[in-house]
Amino acid sequence: MSNQLIFRGVATALITPLTSSGVDYDKLGEVIDWQIEQGVNALVIAGTTGEGSTLDDVEHRAVVKYSVERVAGRVPVIAGTGSNDTAYAVSLTRYCCDVGADAMLVVTPYYNKATQKGLITMYKTIADASTKPLILYNVPSRTGVGIEPSTYAALAGYPNIAAIKEASGNISKIVETASLVGDKMTLYSGNDDQIVPILSMGGQGVISVLSNVAPKQTVELCDRWFRGDTAGAAKLQCELLPLIKALFCEVNPIPVKAAMAALGWCENYLRLPLTPLEPEHGKQLYELMKAQNLL
């Protein structure tokens, strides 16, 4: 566990409520308050689930600033500031530091990808520009480039590089990473179906899509683990698995946007190239939400 622990437990990778005319700040404020009331331990703003890739620059900055002000110190705010343009990532990181975000979530560069040497240089460049800790975000299924365990090891201990969000799904590599970085970086699960496995490797929580819809249950899963109730945590992980799978039946955040719209937290509106959930998938998702007493 890093000595720069950003949060322990559940950070919701929050949706951004959108309409055809822009960001719905009233709904964003309401969902922020509800999430905190439900007990989540941090909020990630303008990440993948928050459709950060289709927020324009003005919106991206405004959403982070508004969220920091609305949260008002109740939980840490983690801003998504990654880009395939390192200069833009630096600019966005500096801005989010200045407006009071507590940490930055920095994904690997998509499309242009990078060598492992390029990743090391990029992350050090962003860390040098930041006054807040960075969470390195590994999701090669989206970006086309993964962070190798040896690369984490090369970055471990570098100033402002504090944590890892692992969404590669590769448990063997995650175990190798944990063995290499030790207590120099905090490990978080980036996959809701692997919360307990990553906690078992010394992870300190999850950056979660599931907790948009089921915050109490996701918090309870982590709480059981940290209380020492390993069997109880594993049981809840398995119980939530059908809902987790439904939330990824199409690319995130398509299903979670539909789920949150059904709960009244937003319109079921996404920006192209994302399109609303297919009706047959929606039917299955809503049935599973009812089974968990969420609808």
Catalytic residues: 137, 165
**CB contact burial 14-36 (16+ within 10 A = b; e otherwise):** bbbbbeeeebbeebbbbbbeebb
Exposure string over 182-214, b if 16+ CB within 10 A, otherwise e:
eebbbbbbbbbbbbbbbbbbebbbbbbbbbbbb
